[in-house]
Structure 1
Amino acid sequence: MIVLALCLVDEARCWAAGESVRSVVDENALEGTPAALWDVDGAGDPTIQGFATDISINRGETVRFKVTTDASAFRVEIYRVGYYRGAGARKVADIGEAETFAVRQPECLKQAETGLVDCGNWQVSASWDVPARSRSGVYVARIIRSDTSGASHIMFVVRDDDGGSGILLQTSDTTWQAYNDYGGNSLYEGEPAGRAYKVSYNRPLIVRGSEYRRTSFWANEYPMIRWLEANGYDVSYLSGVDTARRGHLIRRHKLFVSSGHDEYWSGDQRDNVEAARDAGVNLAFFSGNSVFWKTRWEPSIDASGREYRTLVCYKETHAGEKIDPSPLATGTWRDPRFSPPNDSARPENALKGTIYVANCCRFDAVTVSADQAKARFWRNTGLDTLSRSQSVLVGLRTVGFEWDSDLDNGSRPAGLVRLSSTRLDVEAALRDFGSNYGSDTVTHNVTLFRHKSGSLVFAAGTTLWGWALDATHDDPDKQSAPTDLRLQQATVNLLADMSLFPASPNGALVVTQAPPDTVPPVASIRSPRTLEDHMFHLPVSVSGSATDQGGVPAGIEVSVDGGANWHPANGVSDWSYTFTPDRRSFVSILARAVDDSGNLQPVPTSVTIKVSGFARLIYAGLVGLVLGCGALLLAFVARRRRLLAKRRMMGL
């Protein structure tokens, strides 16, 4: 308690006292700083802006800031973002005017052919030696003019490369920079093609004050961090850049988290996450539109040539041709047209289960059916009382502003479970690989599957999942809503099934790990029957049921090509699937069930039907025609005989 009290008033003396790294609970028990003192409006004061020379640093390293201002002096306050009894951040250091260098920096470097704006030629203006026992987190340097007190933010991440927390949360900084238009260019506007092809981390980050403020950290990721730390989850942090350059760190944790709007992923970033999954690390995508654009990295163009400072995305999907001079494609991950043979297209649902379908701005609740509500994900939420025909809405305005669906596109993971299905009419549904949108009816899904490594992979399929967890965040569209205890409880349930538990849970939450279930379910096929005869090019209806021990059936998959491809059926306990044979043959219909723990039936149930061709169809038609004509002729003859007999009786 003495050390804790000391930390409340003097961070430096706290470290000098020899305290070990604080737990998330102890860290957030410290007194926070009121948001009125640490926050800024939008992108802050335009007359004082800056950036860190690296998006992240390890504990014990030095973070350096480059600041431009016309003020004669400025100072810096360092804050760690968290919950802190609702305050949202805590001051951890002050850097006085005597330790800073105020200067109006030179014009940023520009590369006309790509639209790159790189301010790496600026001078270092201030620095902070991160204490070796600092808690990993998202940090903010608040740079403040000494004359007017105008202030702006510089964001960076403090890593813990030696630690192994339960949860490792990745910031969506690649997406921040894609939308960042400091200097006039971003991946959405400017030169040379109405957009830049390259953007630099060597720039102040002004997304929060632009038309793209909906994609900022403060709108989408901040509430997730507040909720995790408020409930005492053992969480540490890394940047999207680190996922690419330090992917080995992921394997030291039980769970890797993507949150908010996590749209831009490089090849090495995805490879490292997939390798961690294959090694048994769980994945949770509390995000939407994630892993959509494929990127690559180049060094900065300033004299330092620092690696991982230039984010490259030519968006060849928009161009309709190969324009990136690199052999690698930088279109959408799902676009196969420009990928070299050794780097084929990988739709994002192959990694996370869902795939982006709707662009801006429909805000709706998550719809859970009675069958879906039986899944262990929804335990202790009160949804288990639904009757068979009912559904319920949870998380008002959680589906938005960009969101995903479970599509049967050939990349759907085996054993994928739909935990919700929200059917919506939208004006901007994606119609191709990533360029054209139009009105359509599409379905949002929350999904879960168990990878063959044993890891669980969850996808919320929306950028706004955090809004249901914590109500403090930027709300650019003014459509926010109260938090939802049922989605909070479901998130606790998910993490518990990954053996991750809150050390200081909200009193309204029930923290239980459901009994483990390792017994797979069994699907049965009721119709058609084995060797039943069906006609070529006529639909075949397949139906059946499923049972499970220790859980509930949660999904059915059907194959009609010997198991090469699997497709989701409609329904669960009672299910159906329709397909149309495209050739004459014996067709083996396979069905397998998956339960709410992600256990997939290892040996599918099967029936074999006989599919006859057009010749038989024509023959059957001719036979029918002949028989029909014969019947008509017999009827005509019989009628004629009756008429003749009647005439004879009348003496005619």
Structure 2
Amino acid sequence: MGTDQIRRWESGALAHAVTDPFGQGPLPWLRGSETYFDSGHLVPWYVEQATVHGDPRVPPPRKHNGPRTADDVHRQIKGFATTGAVAPGEAIDFRVSVDPPQPFSIDIYRIGHYGGAGAFKITTSPRLSGIVQPAPLAAERTVSCHHWWLSWRLQVPTYWNLGAYVAVLTTEDGYRSHIPFTVRDDHPADLLLLLPDITWQAYNLYPEDGRTGASLYHAWDEDGALLGEGQAATTVSFDRPYAGAGLPLHVGHAYDFIRWAERYGYDLAYADARDLHAGRVDPSRYRGLIFPGHDEYWTAPMRRTVERARDHGTSLVFLSANTMYWKVDLSPSPSGPGALLSCRKRQGPGRPALWREAGDPEQRLMGVQYAGRVPEPAPLVVRNGAHWLWEATGAGEGDALPGLVAGEADRYFPRTSLPEHTDRVLLAHSPYRDAEGHRRHQETSLYRAPSGALVFASGTFAWSPALDRPGHVDPRVQRATANLLDRICKRD
């Protein structure tokens, strides 16, 4: 194995995978088409399995018994939608590049329980003509494909259900990629699920080609080695595909919640973070707002809207950790408003990029805030086991729920002010060791605002996967979540 190959192997998808302790795993339409390391991480596109020998991490060569996943070097098929969310009756445009040029099709799936299948095919496009689109444009580290030609316009029927959708792109010679999008409406519902597309874009390294791509975390040097945050992009564009298979990092957290919630019949509406930012969400129409997974990047309008919602009686449910950590801005691009995401992070002087450093820490909204990474999963230790959240779960005071503190963790910071509340309780206090071996702890929080709104923060990445991800389901977390949502929805 050459030195360059080692550098590439240790970059990109593999480097990103360590931030998700669970691994996405095969989705319903991906089963049998992906290869994984023993650790559960997806084998990156740049590992040449047929030519790499003697490394136990590399699975043996395999036969392709179905569609193969496109990559960002050969770009067999890659695409993006010109908007993240669309209402029934509106149109959504797909811009797709196919190399070599050939016919392709787009299957539209809706994420849901569907008897355990996890998704259901709604429709298929006509046979489409694929072309090689122009190379991505790059201005400093910002990569955009807004100049790509329209490939297919989907008129969303008025009778389609709201929800999280995925467009599955397949070439005639059997390569495949994906485009996620949301069908939303402003009709009242018990709960509004907010998909964290701003955070998804922050992590997007497209094109993951060892040369051009950049995210708010990484970029490449001239030798194809991965650079860190200090030299990453400070502005990224929504007008581009997602790297690799075309599904965002951490998208599984949202899909886990959706499958579970739809299985048990919760009345859900859907929107994405950009809808929240742009004022297209009226929280007064909902009893609760659900933030299902890693939702790290928030704009000021997002936070103001959510705080007003809480103050007017709408409950908030944060099912992950490291929420609302970075303060970001959205700005227009040639393709329209809100298409550019900017976060300076720690590059050069200027106003602080962390909410807590800007004088408005996350804890003032959530009751806890980000504490750090959890290198090895640890048990979540129940506190206040007699509280109604733990009722009928089988979990009691001091019980340890294995593996439920993972990825990243939140806790209460005693020197940071709390939000106004009429009552407040910590429902877990869980020790773990950080990467340096120091003892840390995670906490799960619940408080009631003066308006009567409940605000729950799980404080761990592992909560949503415990609802419906194979190998990670925990019935105690399922029941605790149902206890919370039932109270918010005022179910008997």
Q: TM-score, normalised by structure 2?
A: 0.80
Greater shift after overlay, 411-420 or 187-196? Answer: 187-196
State the distance in 2 between where 1:482 and 1:216 align: 15
Secondary structure at 1:319 match in 2: coil
Give the Å deviation of 1:410.
2.6
Which residue, 395, 400, 408 being the options, matches 1:402? 408
Give the Å deviation of 1:290.
0.6
State the distance in 2 between where 1:37 and 1:185 align: 26
Kindly provide the CA deviation profile for residues 307-363 of structure 1, in whole angstroms up to 9, marking residues without a partner as x: 011111011xx23621xxxxxx46111113xxxxxxxx2111111111101124331
Higher helix share: 1
Give the Å deviation of 1:383.
3.6
Give the Å deviation of 1:200.
0.7
Kindly provide the CA deviation profile for residues 7-64 of structure 1, in whole angstroms up to 9, marking residues without a partner as x: xxxxxxxxxxxxxxxxxxxxxxxxxxx9247896469312101000001111111111
Q: Name the residue aligned to 1:172.
A: 196
Indicate how the Cα distance of structure 1 residues 364 and 79 shifts in structure 2: closer, same or farther if over 3 A, else same: same
Which residue, 391, 396, 404 being the options, matches 1:379? 391
Which residue, 396, 399, 402 being the options, matches 1:392? 399
Q: Name the residue aligned to 1:252.
A: 285
One-letter amino acid matched to 1:217? V
State the distance in 2 between where 1:125 and 1:463 align: 37
In the alignment, structure 1 residue 274 sits paired with structure 2 residue 298: no
Q: 1:11-50 maps to which residues of 2 (within 5 A)?
A: 35-36=28-29, 41=34, 44-46=69-71, 47-50=76-79
Give the Å deviation of 1:216.
2.2
Q: Name the residue aligned to 1:451.
A: 449
Give the Å deviation of 1:152.
0.7
Q: Which has the higher contact order (CA 8 A, sep 6+)?
A: 2
Give the Å deviation of 1:248.
3.8
In the alignment, structure 1 residue 126 sits paired with structure 2 residue 152: yes
One-letter amino acid matched to 2:416? G
Q: 1:112-151 maps to which residues of 2 (within 5 A)?
A: 112=140, 115-146=141-172, 148-151=173-176
Secondary structure at 2:147 match in 1: coil
CA contact (8 A) 1:296 1:330 kept: no
State the distance in 2 between where 1:226 and 1:361 align: 27
> Structure 2 stretches of 5 or more lacking a match?
1-26, 35-41, 46-68, 208-212, 221-228
State the distance in 2 between where 1:403 and 1:272 align: 25
Which residue, 144, 158, 168 being the options, matches 2:183? 158
Q: Name the residue aligned to 2:355.
A: 333
Which residue, 94, 97, 109 being the options, matches 2:137? 109
Indicate how the Cα distance of structure 1 residues 298 and 456 shifts in structure 2: closer, same or farther if over 3 A, else same: same
Secondary structure at 1:254 match in 2: strand
Give the Å deviation of 1:500.
4.8
> Structure 1 stretches of 5 or more lacking a match?
1-33, 323-328, 337-344, 428-437, 473-480, 502-512, 514-652
CA contact (8 A) 1:167 1:254 kept: yes
Which residue, 212, 217, 222 being the options, matches 2:251? 217
> What's the C-alpha RMSD, in Å, of the aligned pairs?
2.2
Q: Name the residue aligned to 2:464.
A: 466
CA contact (8 A) 2:176 2:245 kept: no
Kindly provide the CA deviation profile for residues 176-218 of structure 1, in whole angstroms up to 9, marking residues without a partner as x: 11110113111011279521000111111126689xx8x4202
Which residue, 65, 83, 103 being the options, matches 1:73? 103
In the alignment, structure 1 residue 195 sits paired with structure 2 residue 232: yes
CA contact (8 A) 1:80 1:137 kept: yes
Q: Name the residue aligned to 2:14.
A: none
State the distance in 2 between where 1:207 and 1:289 align: 24
CA contact (8 A) 1:295 1:330 kept: no
Q: 1:433-444 maps to which residues of 2 (within 5 A)?
A: 439-444=437-442
Give the Å deviation of 1:426.
1.3
Indicate how the Cα distance of structure 1 residues 360 and 366 shifts in structure 2: closer, same or farther if over 3 A, else same: closer
CA contact (8 A) 1:145 1:151 kept: yes
Q: Percent identity?
A: 34
Give the Å deviation of 1:488.
1.0
Which residue, 263, 275, 284 being the options, matches 1:230? 263
Indicate how the Cα distance of structure 1 residues 39 and 257 shifts in structure 2: closer, same or farther if over 3 A, else same: farther
